[in-house]
Structure formats: structure tokens, C-alpha cells
């Protein structure tokens, strides 16, 4: 029983990270209707940014995260401006390939600047806490709390503010949003800013319990794709729910099935879903 | 002038050039490099049938390439089968696995298809990597034999392997050329341009998409089998996503949706990578942005840029205004190949 609860807690931790990454991916999908294959590279850049800010410049963990979030968010905006904006009328194949190009570049760039080694990120939250017979590090608790706070804040932003409403409007209907006077270019840039920021935040939170290396985004991005297909492309609650579903199934699978094959669970899940329902679960109407 | 440089003559010229190539290169290394480039041409041409002509971007192509390489490797090393029987079986195995994956994968469309096949490719990689009993895991598979003799023809030297691979490349290109210019090929293009429209005029899209998918895996398998017997060592990394991106880059740089695109792309990039070898793992610093720039400015690659230059020059000669040359590439592609 103890193992089960411990694993459920672990599932909650990984699920939080997955949800944050998937949220950024789903936001961009909602706006541009492209799967951003470079999102994993943004995740990786976030991890490295925070790492450098902490070790090179000696900033505090939270300040380092803030800088990383802003920097990677701006990187996302640059991507939108220079790559996806010129390609907005091109066939969907082109966006995908362009995104892959960016991914390759950023990965190679990280290798050049930081080397290919596995780095461990320090964290001020290494204390071990034990509540109700469960033991875990503060960092894991922090991941869960931070993720939930961000999700609530994002939801409030999208639902209660005017700027947030423009993002939703644009994801519902691009031409319609343009007609009622929404500056779609600005909204697209803003979406990329938020998306990059979320990726950086997720990796900065997760890195102290994982490791920082150039290929760290690979598996995460593939799993984020699984999540947004699970939760419906472009759907925000779907991304959050899907993230936790995947987190739980992975941590339980690792304990009760096989630790070696835990990464394959996500892909088998996806293959099963798409085999049964080729357009994904919980598809929203209107998206084509 | 134009009568000398027409299509038939230039094909004859390039085939002759490739035939005398071993005689003019200074050392075996260049020959070996060219052999690997030809192997990639076969794989990329296979991908081109699906991504270029049918409009479905499959990211599992490297996985099928690896299935081909591992099938041949296992059949010859572990089962100790005759090479050519193993070769034919390999083509069967990859096509069959392509058929099975295609049946399910092609129910999805566009992004879902890309993501689905990306995951299929990753599963293939993970299976090869983890199933040590069969594939040898990360240690890979060593000691794959060179192609067996056919009569008095032996394939144990670099020269003979070059000609063998050249033969298979030309054969594949011929087959693909015939397919693309047949009614089937035009059906593929119809599906790429508008699947709904194709269905409306009575095309069985599922059947044709499946055919394109199986064909693409067939050539991936052939390429993988040749790769295994020329390199003679294979590891799980040949199924990894980086190989997939290499294939994609060859296709894009050369020109997607043209017959000559994969040839130009694979040969140019293999040689340029060779020149940039001092960069090693950093070569993507150049190729990554290059890929992105090409897709923005020259979405049809080197061959596409060349064709539009030629059409422009011809139009100028005839003093005809250029109408809409960036659109409707299909018709031109069919005509100029």
C-alpha cells in the first residue's frame, strides 16, 4: 500500500511536468494548427538557462527560473517571427519540417555551448520531508504546487482578462478574430511567449530531479504529443488531464510492469488511442 | 543547344559518369562514400513516394530502414541463410510490416499521421535497443557477410559493391519513375493535392495511400539491407530520430516531390558533410537553419529552384509573361520529372 501511495505521488510529480509542457504545445497548436516539434528544444534550453544562471552567475533558484522563462519565451517569439509567420500560408508539411530544423539547430547549439555531458542542477529545496509515513524531497512537492499555481493563473488569464480572451478567440476562428479587430500577429507572438515560458518553467522545475543534457527534450516532447492527442489537440483542460493520466500510468507501470519499458507505455498508449480513434480522444468540433 | 542537353541525353550522361566514377577517383574511400550516398538515395526515394507525391509525412521511415538492416543481419548472421534468399525475405518482411503499420497509421491524417509515425519509429528504436536476446541491444550486430557471389561475380571489394549498389539504385529509380508517371502515380498526386477531391472523383484513397506506404517501406527495406551488407555493422542508432531527420534533409535539400531530388540531395549532403567532418556533432548548427531556410525560401529544394529557373528562362525566350509560376508545381513536375 505504501508503495502504491508513493508511486501515486511520483505520478503526480511527473504528471505536473508533462502537463506544463503539453499546455504550451496545445496553446500553439490552437493558434497555428501546427505540431511544434521544436517545443522539446525550448524545454531543453530552459533547463540550460536556469542551470547557467545558477552556477555561473550565482543567482537564486527562483530568479534564475524567471530569467530562463523570459529568455526562452523570447526565443519562442523569435521562432514565430522568423519561421512560422513567413510560413503561415504554406502547406502544413512545411511548418513541421521547419520546426524540425529549429530543433536540430538548438540541440546542436546546446552541445556547442554546454557540451554533451549530463549536468546536475543544484536546488535549495533538497530537504526530505515525511508526512503520513510518506517520504519525499521538497523539490517534488514544489513541482506539484508550482504547476498547479501556474495552471490556475493561466486559466484565470485566459478566461478573465481581455488579452487572454483574444487568444481563445483566435484559436476558435482565426479569420473571425481578425474581423472583430484582434491583432492576430500580436496574439500569435504572445502565445509563443507563453508557450516558451511554460516549457522553460517545466524544465527548470524538473531538472533538479532529472538531469540536464542536450537530448533531454526528446522524450518529453514525444510524450507531450501523446498527451495533447489524448486530451484533444488545442484543448487546455485536456492537456492538463492528459498530463496527469500519463504521469500516473508511467509511475505505476514502472513499478508493476517493468522499469525498462516505462518509456514505451506512452507510445503504446498513443498507438492504441489512434488505432481506435484516428482523430484523438475528446476532439473539439470546428478544428480542421 | 537544347537538343543536346535534353532529358534523355543528360540521364545517359549521368549514368555513364556513375559507371566510370570508380576509374577516376583517387582512392577507395571516395568510392565507399559514394556507395553510402547511393544507399541513402534509395531510402530517400522511398520516402519521396509517400511524403513528396502522396503528401503524407512519415517519420517512421528510419524505423523501416532499420527493420530492413536488422532483418538481413539476423537472417544471415543468426539463421545463416543464403545471402540472396535473405535479401528477398528482407524485402518481404519490411513490406509486410509496412502493410501492417500502414493499415492502422493511414486511418489518421496530417499532424496525427506525423505524430503517430514518429511514435511508431520510436517504438521500433526502443524494441531494437532493449530486446538484447534478438538484436544484441546497444552492442549491435557485427560480422554481417558481404553479398554472396552471383555466378562468377563476387561482391567482396569496394568496387564491386559500388556497382551492386549502383545497380539497385538505378533499378529503384526506374521503378519509381514508372510508378510516378503511371495512373497510380497521378492518383498519389491527386491525393496530395486534395484528398477530398480525389475521393469525390472515385479514387479509393485508402487503397492508394496504403500502396504508397508499402512501396516506401519496400525501398526503405532494400536500402537498409544494402546498408547492412556494405557497412557490415549495425546498431540501434540507425533507427533513431536523427537518421530520420537526415533522410528528411536529403529529401528537402534535393527537392521534395521530384525524381531527381533525392539523388541530388543525398549526394550533395553526403559530400558536404564529408567536407565539414571537422564539425562532427556540430554540423547541425549549419544544417538545422539550412533546412528551415530552404523550406521558407525554396520549398522545392535545389531541383525545384533549378526547374523554376529553367522555366523562367524559357518563358523569357518566348517572350511570354510568367503566369503563376510558384503555384501548381504538379503539372510541371510531371512534365519535367
Q: Which of B99, B257, B278 is nearest to B189 (CA)?
A: B257
> Does B112 contact A229 at a Cβ distance shorter than 8 Å?
yes
> pLDDT tens, B76-133?
888 888 888 889 999 999 999 999 999 888 888 777 888 888 888 888 888 888 887 7
Domain that holds residue B238: 19-245
Q: What is the largest CA-CA distance in chain A?
A: 58
Angstrom distance (rounded) from CA B64 to CA B121:
8
Residue A253 lies in a domain: no
Q: Exposed, middle or buried: residue B64 (CB in 10 Å: 0-12, 13-18, 19+)?
A: buried
Our CA-based measurement puts residue B94 at a distance from the nearest CA of chain A, in whole angstroms, of 19
Task: Indicate the average pLDDT of chain B.
Answer: 83
Residue B337 lies in a domain: no
Our CA-based measurement puts residue A260 at a distance from the nearest CA of chain B, in whole angstroms, of 8
Residue of B109, B119, B289 with shortest CB distance to A271 = B119
Structure confidence at residue A11 (pLDDT): 87
The DSSP result for B194-206, as a single string, is -HHHHHHTT--HH
* Residue of A91, A101, A229 best to disrupt the B interface, most CBs of B under 10 A: A101
Which chain B residues touch A264 with a CB distance below 8 Å?
123, 126
- Which chain B residue shows the shortest CA-CA distance from A109? B285
Domain that holds residue A36: 13-217
C-alpha cell belonging to residue B201 = 472523383
* Residue of B237, B288, B300 best to disrupt the A interface, most CBs of A under 10 A: B288
In Å, how far from its chain's centre is CA A10?
Answer: 18
DSSP state of B239: G
Q: Which of B59, B53, B73 is nearest to B101 (CA)?
A: B59
Residue B11 lies in a domain: no
Q: Are A44 and A217 in contact (CB under 8 A)?
A: yes
- Which chain B residue shows the shortest CA-CA distance from A33? B111
Our CA-based measurement puts residue A33 at a distance from the nearest CA of chain B, in whole angstroms, of 9
Residue B178 lies in a domain: yes
Residue B310 lies in a domain: no
Structure confidence at residue B1 (pLDDT): 46
DSSP state of B149: P
Rounded to 5 degrees, what angle do the CA atoms A8, A10, A16 make? 100
* Residue of A93, A94, A117, A267 best to disrupt the B interface, most CBs of B under 10 A: A93
Q: Are B122 and B241 in contact (CB under 8 A)?
A: yes
> Does B285 contact A279 at a Cβ distance shorter than 8 Å?
no
Whether residue B100 lies within 8 A of chain A, CB to CB, comes out as: no
Whether residue B279 lies within 8 A of chain A, CB to CB, comes out as: no
> Does A92 contact B292 at a Cβ distance shorter than 8 Å?
no
Q: Are B303 and B261 in contact (CB under 8 A)?
A: yes
Residue B271 lies in a domain: no
Residue of B51, B111, B281 with shortest CB distance to A111 = B281
Work out how many domains chain B is built from and give that number. Answer: 1
> pLDDT tens, A163-189?
888 888 888 888 888 888 888 888 889
Residue B68 lies in a domain: yes
Our CA-based measurement puts residue B284 at a distance from the nearest CA of chain A, in whole angstroms, of 6
> pLDDT tens, B224-234?
999 998 888 88
Residue A42 lies in a domain: yes
Our CA-based measurement puts residue B217 at a distance from the nearest CA of chain A, in whole angstroms, of 19
Residue B111 lies in a domain: yes
Q: What is the ipTM of this complex?
A: 0.78
Work out how many domains chain A is built from and give that number. Answer: 1
User: pLDDT exceeding 90 applies to what percent of chain B?
Assistant: 24
> pLDDT tens, A48-71?
998 888 888 888 888 888 999 999
Q: Give the best-scoring range by mean pLDDT among A55-59, B48-52, B282-286, B314-318.
A: B48-52
Q: Are A245 and A230 in contact (CB under 8 A)?
A: yes
> Does A264 contact B126 at a Cβ distance shorter than 8 Å?
yes
Query: Which residues, numbered 153 to 192 in chain B, qualify as contacts with chain A under a Cβ-Cβ cut-off of 8 Å?
Result: none
Residue A228 lies in a domain: no
Helix (H) or strand (E) holding A137: strand A134-137
Residue B205 lies in a domain: yes
> Does B288 contact A101 at a Cβ distance shorter than 8 Å?
yes
Residue A270: CA count within 13 A, CB half-sphere? 31
Angstrom distance (rounded) from CA B206 to CA A45:
41
Q: Which of B132, B130, B16, B108 is nearest to B59 (CA)?
A: B108
Residue A196 lies in a domain: yes
| Alpha helix ranges (H) inside chain B | 7-24, 28-47, 61-77, 83-105, 110-130, 132-135, 158-180, 183-193, 195-200, 205-231, 241-254, 260-275, 284-297, 301-317, 329-336
Amino acid at each position: 500500500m505504501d508503495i502504491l501511495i508513493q508511486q501515486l505521488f511520483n505520478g503526480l510529480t511527473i504528471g505536473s511536468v508533462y502537463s506544463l509542457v503539453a499546455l504550451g504545445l496545445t496553446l500553439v497548436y490552437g493558434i497555428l494548427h501546427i505540431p511544434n516539434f521544436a517545443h522539446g528544444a525550448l524545454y531543453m534550453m530552459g533547463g540550460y538557462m536556469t542551470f547557467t544562471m545558477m552556477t555561473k552567475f550565482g543567482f537564486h533558484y527562483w530568479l534564475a527560473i524567471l530569467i530562463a522563462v523570459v529568455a526562452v519565451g523570447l526565443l519562442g517569439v523569435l521562432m514565430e517571427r522568423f519561421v512560422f509567420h513567413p510560413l503561415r500560408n504554406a502547406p502544413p508539411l512545411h511548418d513541421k519540417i521547419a520546426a524540425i530544423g529549429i530543433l536540430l539547430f538548438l540541440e546542436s547549439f546546446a552541445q556547442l555551448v554546454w557540451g554533451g555531458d549530463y549536468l546536475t542542477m543544484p536546488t535549495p529545496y533538497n530537504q526530505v520531508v515525511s508526512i503520513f509515513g510518506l517520504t519525499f524531497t521538497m523539490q517534488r512537492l514544489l513541482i506539484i504546487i508550482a504547476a498547479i499555481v501556474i495552471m490556475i493563473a493561466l486559466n484565470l488569464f485566459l478566461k478573465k482578462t481581455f488579452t487572454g480572451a483574444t487568444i481563445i478567440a483566435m484559436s476558435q476562428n482565426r479569420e473571425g478574430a481578425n474581423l472583430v479587430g484582434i491583432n492576430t500577429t500580436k496574439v500569435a507572438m504572445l502565445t509563443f511567449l507563453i508557450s516558451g515560458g511554460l516549457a522553460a518553467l517545466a524544465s527548470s522545475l524538473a531538472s533538479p530531479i532529472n538531469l540536464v543534457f542536450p537530448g533531454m527534450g526528446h522524450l518529453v516532447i514525444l510524450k507531450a504529443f501523446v498527451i495533447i492527442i489524448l486530451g484533444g489537440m488545442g484543448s487546455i483542460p485536456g492537456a492538463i488531464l492528459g498530463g496527469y493520466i500519463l504521469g500516473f500510468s508511467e509511475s505505476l507501470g514502472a513499478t508493476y510492469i517493468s522499469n525498462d519499458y516505462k518509456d514505451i507505455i506512452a507510445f503504446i498508449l498513443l498507438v492504441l488511442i489512434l488505432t481506435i480513434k484516428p482523430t484523438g480522444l475528446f476532439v473539439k468540433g470546428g478544428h480542421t | 543547344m537544347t537538343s543536346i542537353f535534353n532529358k534523355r541525353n543528360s540521364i545517359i550522361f549521368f549514368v555513364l559518369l556513375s559507371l566510370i566514377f570508380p576509374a577516376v577517383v583517387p582512392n577507395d574511400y571516395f568510392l565507399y562514400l559514394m556507395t553510402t550516398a547511393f544507399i541513402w538515395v534509395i531510402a530517400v526515394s522511398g520516402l519521396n513516394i509517400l511524403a513528396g507525391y502522396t503528401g503524407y509525412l512519415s517519420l517512421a521511415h528510419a524505423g523501416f530502414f532499420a527493420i530492413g538492416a536488422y532483418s538481413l543481419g539476423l537472417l544471415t548472421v543468426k539463421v545463416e541463410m543464403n545471402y540472396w534468399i535473405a535479401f528477398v525475405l528482407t524485402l518481404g518482411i519490411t513490406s509486410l510490416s509496412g502493410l501492417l503499420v500502414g493499415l492502422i497509421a493511414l486511418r489518421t491524417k496530417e499532424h496525427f499521421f506525423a505524430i503517430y509515425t514518429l511514435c511508431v519509429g520510436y517504438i521500433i528504436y526502443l524494441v531494437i535497443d532493449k530486446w538484447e536476446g534478438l538484436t544484441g541491444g546497444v552492442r549491435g550486430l557485427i560480422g554481417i557477410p558481404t553479398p554472396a557471389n552471383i555466378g562468377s561475380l563476387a561482391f567482396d571489394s569496394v568496387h564491386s559493391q559500388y556497382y551492386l549498389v549502383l545497380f539497385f539504385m538505378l533499378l529503384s529509380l526506374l521503378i519509381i519513375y514508372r510508378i510516378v508517371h503511371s495512373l497510380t502515380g497521378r492518383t498519389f498526386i491527386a491525393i496530395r493535392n486534395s484528398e477530398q477531391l480525389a475521393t469525390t472523383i472515385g479514387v479509393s484513397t485508402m487503397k492508394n495511400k496504403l500502396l504508397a506506404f508499402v512501396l516506401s517501406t519496400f525501398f526503405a527495406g532494400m536500402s537498409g539491407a544494402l546498408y547492412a551488407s556494405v557497412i557490415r555493422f549495425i546498431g540501434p542508432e540507425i533507427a533513431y530520430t536523427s537518421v530520420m531527420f537526415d533522410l528528411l534533409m536529403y529529401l528537402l535539400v534535393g527537392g521534395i516531390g521530384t525524381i531527381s531530388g533525392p539523388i541530388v540531395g543525398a549526394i550533395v549532403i553526403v559530400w558536404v558533410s564529408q567536407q565539414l567532418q571537422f564539425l562532427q556533432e556540430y554540423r547541425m548548427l549549419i544544417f538545422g537553419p539550412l533546412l528551415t531556410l530552404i523550406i521558407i525560401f525554396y520549398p522545392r529544394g535545389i531541383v525545384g529552384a533549378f526547374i523554376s529557373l529553367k522555366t523562367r528562362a524559357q518563358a523569357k525566350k518566348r517572350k511570354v509573361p510568367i503566369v503563376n509560376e510558384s503555384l501548381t508545381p504538379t503539372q510541371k513536375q510531371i512534365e519535367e520529372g
